[in-house]
Structure 1
């Protein structure tokens, strides 16, 4: 057990326990802090078979296995951003953001996955988006891969075949060649743990594979190598001329031991090793490789299961060296925290083999934490996570590339407003205490296709009417609050805008029935 990690984890958990109540004093961001918002290509673009685009593995799932999506929907049209991208950029201007994190659809650029054919219509579309952003003073942060793998490559093995490292490198080179003269902030891959766990472990995301004890690890291994390949290609072939930076996006939950027992503290360390260090350590640590605690735990479990080799395939030393330092900055996605405990109730709880059985803990989120969908609000967790990264990984440059809260439909989204303010407050506090956080991107600019949840969860600061052929976008209260924070650089808990009053047409539509009822009531009283 690493003494330093135990002290960090336990001390930060104690800070969490005493700082759960949010002080509502005004909090100010540094003058050079950057703000943005995020989306992903498959979730917003639509035009699934237009403009020369090939099939993604999500296009295939939507047709072959529609029952995998909660409401039976798909992203064939989604927000129709392929045709409405100028309205999206108007929304960004309305908010006053510095940056916009978008992703490029691999099959829109390379319909068959490989660079032997580059789709000119796809190049033209993203050129138009990038140019429109820059013309409006908005800096693009471009994610190369946000889960929409070309179906052709998926059928050849996808993320569990070693060849994908070369495939991704070839794709990255095409992006650098066509967009690198204007794009200076690249994010290689989005959320390896989530992508591998739900796509290759639990089978609830494309490609719907269920191998939580083997393919989950293979997927993550190849993603780390693919990130390194894309980074080195930029470093060796493009950085000198283009002068940009390359990072990647890792999702992380903060974890707290439920008690101060040795089992719970060790369980929290094990959980953190898989959910934080598994993808941080190979890139951001001095020694590289997977965390030793992960290597040892999977090797021991594999031996106990009668296997001759660990289910976590080791890296060669050459690969370990190749991956170290292959990110100029970290894109951090954070939504929730969890308590963990380890006792007899964990026995027989999980499939064998599986990553959950390897970690061997039970997770818990108190009902007192505000929640909607799968998000539980616990803002001190973000502060503690940022302090952990600062202390464990030599204070890397961090952009919070996703943070947000789902809500029901409607413009008065007070739950999201509370969540946003409290988490941004944690960011301010972390920066004040030395964390090297340069920017914050809210998830999401607008309602979109939320993967296996379809359209049952709404993360947008802008409401999108999915029943309207025009996909009308309307700012929610959270959009107005975010706009004011960006304008003033202050988190003001007393600011309480009316989203209906902000839109004259909407206000008329909202208040007219109320006024009519009052007039009828007065008329009846007078008669």
Structure 2
């Protein structure tokens, strides 16, 4: 029942799979720096080699072909293409690598979806202030224009920035992602603001300079859990749920799809907390300037990363320090009926994806939606016969089908996270999301398909077969 041109994909990111961290002129990124500091990552692991996809791309391509994907989402390493982060120094070997990846995909009738930024800022730009600096938006726009010019004749789906919420909160509020800063209640909002400015500049550049000829589409990937009131009849729980959605999904979706500014619920909560704690500066949530590019309308589709759900109640408001947690003032509760998948934060709730899709349709003017990440992990002993993950994909894709057929959501594609086991940020290699197992103890880094990969391939094959039958029927009717 999926649309005929539905995108069946899997996703990866450059830092998590490529390795070759110093190969052929690549510059260091903030994740290279972060991982090389002791105590930052599980067992002090790093992605210096990861899946070695910089050398073993052909093996990855075989995985893509084995699944029968119609689309493959990858990211470009900014530091591999522009080692110092600027177009003053272009690394031709990096350009050659990504040209080969894109060309090989197209030769196999697989469409690339390309992410410009997936967490790995060039370290040279971090040394100049990174995402906290207003000037980063122009630097990102220059990088984006370079990529549009270099690869845009073949790439028709672009993501500017992946999960700005995660970059801002985990990197600048919690300090558990690169660059590892804990500047609570301040820097995350600045970083998110500059990411939105950078995204908007890049979208306008594409729209003005490249769209007419390249005919592609550009968005940013927004991650969000699904939130629902712990007690649906409690006004306080409902209000806390609205705050949760505003601080997660709304932070980046509201400016782009609704008003061109942040959700009023978010700003009022932050400003009220500042007043309560005696913070007398300007609003900690920045305001967009008339000199900034227009934010509203800078997405050609809604790119959604979804993993888990939470029930919500008020937090009590007892913390007396500036922090995002105090601003949100809520408590997230996991329903005991939702199974925990590997890591403590990932409670499996396929129903939440359908609910979130319906919420996006109703709140953000019924956009075309690509589910750009969704997955299920293993921790501990690896099970190639991953029955739980098989059931997860079947039930999740069924919920997506219901969102399309029953709720009328315009879902255009689904990308599983991830094509293969990889470096899962601060969790290192301890967490496995792949449709293919990667044996990191093997010098050849052998890829082996999980049972879930085979099941996902069957789902894709059935869809393609149904599409073919519909095409043949249409031909007969026409004749």
Shift of residue 316 of structure 1?
2.5
Q: Is the 8 A contact 1:71 1:456 kept in 2?
A: no
Give the match's secondary structure for 1:51: helix
CA distance in 1, matches of 2:270, 2:447: 47
2:21 aligned with 1:42: no
Change beyond 3 A, Cα 1:116–1:42: same
Q: 1:322 is matched with which residue?
A: 294
Partner residue, 1:8: none
| TM-score (normalised: structure 1) | 0.85
| SS of match in other structure, 1:156 | coil
**Which of the residues 360, 363, 368 maps onto 2:337?**
368
Match of 1:225 in 2: 197
2:372 aligned with 1:401, yes or no? yes
User: Aligned residue for 2:308?
Assistant: 336
> What pairs up with 1:16-55 in 2 under 5 angstroms?
28-55=1-28
Q: CA RMSD in A?
A: 1.4
Q: State how far apart, in whole Å, the 2-side matches of 1:489 and 1:381 are.
A: 24
- Partner deviation per Cα, 1:174-214 (whole Å, 9 max, x = no partner): 10111111111110000011111100110000000002300
3-state SS in 2 of match to 1:71: helix
Contact 2:85 2:139 in 1 (8 A): yes
What is residue 456 of structure 1 aligned with on the other side? 430
State the shift of 1:44 in Å: 0.1
Partner Cα distance (2:94, 2:82) in 1: 8
Gaps of 5+ in 1: 1-27, 491-527
* Separation (CA, whole Å) in 1 of partners of 2:401 and 2:376: 19
Distance across 2 between alignment mates of 1:333 and 1:248 = 10
Does the 8 A contact of 1:410 with 1:463 survive in 2?
no
**Aligned-residue offset at 1:415:** 1.8
1:215 paired residue number: 187
Aligned to 1:427: 400
- The higher radius of gyration belongs to 1
Residues 307 and 140 (structure 1 numbering): CA distance in 2 closer, same or farther, change over 3 Å? same
> 1:37 and 1:435 mapped to 2: Cα distance?
21
Is the 8 Å Cα contact of residues 263 and 343 (structure 1) preserved in structure 2?
no
- Tell me what 1:381 maps to: 352
Q: Distance in 2 between matches of 1:55 and 1:188?
A: 20
* 1:471 correspondence with 2:442: no
Is 1:234 aligned with 2:206? yes
Asked if 1 retains the 8 angstrom alpha-carbon contact of 2:305 and 2:373, the reply is yes
Distance 1:302 1:480 in 2: 52
Number of residue pairs matched by the alignment? 458
1:485 corresponds to 2:456: no
Shift of 1:343: 5.5
Task: Flag as ranges the 4+ runs of structure 1 deviating above 2 A.
Answer: 28-32, 316-319
Q: Check conservation: 1:44, 1:80, Cα contact below 8 A.
A: yes
The CA distance in 2 between the partners of 1:317 and 1:430, in whole Å, is 38
After superposition, give the CA deviation of every residue in 1:198-252 in whole Å (9 maximum; x if it has no partner): 0011000000000230001001000101000110111111111211111110001
In the TM superposition, what are the counterparts of 1:39-118 in structure 2 within 5 Å? 39-63=12-36, 65-118=37-90
* TM-score, normalisation: structure 2: 0.94
For residues 135-174 of structure 1, the aligned pairs below 5 Å read: 135-174=107-146
Separation in 1, partners of 2:181, 2:44: 19
Preserved CA contact (<8 Å) 2:315 2:329: no
